[in-house]
Structure 1
Amino acid sequence: MQRNVEIIRTDILSDNWYILKRIEYEITDGQGNKTRQLREAYDRGNGAVILLYNQDQGTVILTRQFRLPTFINGNADGMLIEACAGLLDKDNPENCIRRETEEETGYQIKDVKKVFEAYMSPGSVTEILYFFVAAYTKEMKITEGGGIEAEQENIEVLELPFTKALEMIESGEIKDGKTIMLLQYAQIHRLL
């Protein structure tokens, strides 16, 4: 059922880090009824995320870093275990994830496979995330990783047994949605 949407007014509430907009729009439902609604949308651009896996070792590469929003929402130390990810920054998703993988984990990966796309918080954030998987070997490690110093990322690189990573979802040690989705993808498709 297609709905007709007309944007009435857009106000920029913040353009400090990314763009927060207040949007007034009129939407026509399936019966032809029109209603006006007012919502806020946060535009931070689109991103890409990847799960690195090693079939021979049965391991995955994840990262751990401080995430302020989790800290102010009850995560005691603010540290979050995640799959490697980053914003596209006007790059295409595959080039972005190759760059982010090298910056964050130190691995220079060869073949990446896009597995799906998803909106992660469609009620308030415009971002669509491109999900990838790639095999890695020890020989692909060319730097220590850790992120870009100028961006003060301070990323810790974790190599974990795949079975341990799955257990960490159940125990609550892994709470990041994109990471959970990729680990479950790996399990469903028997990548390890």
Structure 2
Amino acid sequence: MSTPTAERVRIIETEVLSEDWYVLKKTTFDFLRRDNVWQRQSRETYDRGNGATILLFDPLRETVVLTRQFRLPAFVNGHDGMLIETPAGLLDAASPEERIRAELEEETGYRVRDVEKVFEAFMSPGSVTEKLYFFVAYYDSASRIAQGGGVASEGEDIEVIEPTLDQALGMIGRGEIVDGKTIMLLHHLALQRARK
């Protein structure tokens, strides 16, 4: 029987490097390798809390609701910065379902009755602590109760777009959609559609 992970990690020191926007820490620890040798390691972790994301799908028109907004980290990595994404947000002490409903309305103006959690995933586990909760929901034109666009005081300037599922899948293939959570949810929906 293998040793539980908690018994293979000994935290030596944790140092807060930055606490400006979220929390960046440097942790030094000993890790018991599979060859039974303890190895000293040092890693940085960025803790911004957990989040949730959702993909809306209209099964009659086969459309989805996506957003387009500027993302500085993508911009400084050579992208033009305008990313097409599924609506998402940090939990901020709310349940994933509560948060995604509020975020959906803020960003897109859509309100839906039933949301279904389909999976959870760590998006960048080598350095970011965040776990995302992934949801899907059905919508129609009557579901839109406001303009959306995000919260201007939080720096949000969000465009709402409504391609068909096939158009969105094509956008992945052409490199127009490069956001991981969005690609995961679109492929999930495509697999579900193929099974029916």
Counterpart-to-counterpart distance in 2, 1:58 and 1:140 = 15
TM-score (norm 1): 0.97
Question: Are 1:27 and 2:27 matched, yes or no?
Answer: no
TM-score (norm 2): 0.95
Counterpart in the other structure of 1:128: 131
Counterpart in the other structure of 2:45: 41
Counterpart-to-counterpart distance in 2, 1:68 and 1:89 = 22
How far is the alpha carbon of 1:178 from its aligned partner? 0.3
Structure 1: give runs of 5+ residues left out of the alignment.
none
Alignment of 1:150-169 (within 5 A): 150-169=153-172
1:16 counterpart letter in structure 2: D
SS of the aligned residue for 1:160 comes to coil
Cα RMSD between the aligned structures?
1.2
Structure 2: give runs of 5+ residues left out of the alignment.
none
Sequence identity percentage: 55
How many residues align? The count is 191
SS of the aligned residue for 1:104 comes to helix
SS of the aligned residue for 2:193 comes to coil
Counterpart-to-counterpart distance in 2, 1:153 and 1:84 = 12
Counterpart-to-counterpart distance in 2, 1:38 and 1:149 = 39
Counterpart in the other structure of 1:110: 113
1:45 counterpart letter in structure 2: G
1:132 counterpart letter in structure 2: F
1:26 counterpart letter in structure 2: D
How far is the alpha carbon of 1:168 from its aligned partner? 0.1
Counterpart in the other structure of 2:72: 68
Q: Which stretch shows the higher mean deviation, 85-94 or 26-35?
A: 26-35
Counterpart-to-counterpart distance in 2, 1:52 and 1:160 = 11
Counterpart-to-counterpart distance in 1, 2:32 and 2:160 = 49
Counterpart-to-counterpart distance in 1, 2:187 and 2:161 = 18
What do the CA deviations read for 1:40-59 (whole angstroms, capped 9, x no partner)? 00000000000001000110
